[in-house]
Amino acid sequence: MSRSGYSDDMDNEWSYICWRGAVASSIRGKRGQQLLKDLAEAMDAMPEKKLIAEKLKSKDGHCALGVVGEKRGIKMDSIDPENAEIVAAEFNIAEPLAKEIVYLNDEECRESSPEERWQYMRNWIKENLRKMEIA
């Protein structure tokens, strides 16, 4: 089992379909879009465009969620990065979005360099961040 909580057990296709719907909804929602906006800004401001895996932050840098946590002033030392429910609450996002970002950062980019991981995540954010309408 990974930090994302995802598994390869695909016995129940309907559960998978429902889960993907929950992920999509959490990305489209107000809190999800705010997280993506904050994350894009924080990543673009990074002096070194690198992301780590497996932890929110370390001496080597931050994961994608850790970058936005730093921007928001979240005290991440006391957060268990393996507990998606706590991570989601601390970052004010839905749990499916927390798990999705962790999966992409850690597992989708498993063979990637820190720079490639940064670029992959930045591209994913760009694909999922809606253009905000000005009222």
117 vs 4, more confident: 117
Mean pLDDT of 3-29: 80
For the cut 70, the answer to whether the pLDDT of residue 7 exceeds it is no
Mean pLDDT of 21-31: 95
Q: Note the pTM of the prediction, 2 decimals.
A: 0.87
Q: Where are the domains of the chain?
A: 31-128
Q: Can you tell me the distance from the alpha carbon of 6 to that of 54, in angstroms, rounded to the nearest whole number?
A: 14
Residue with tokens 């979005």: 97
Mean pLDDT of 8-12: 65
For the cut 80, the answer to whether the pLDDT of residue 103 exceeds it is yes
Q: Can you tell me the distance from the alpha carbon of 78 to that of 99, in angstroms, rounded to the nearest whole number?
A: 19
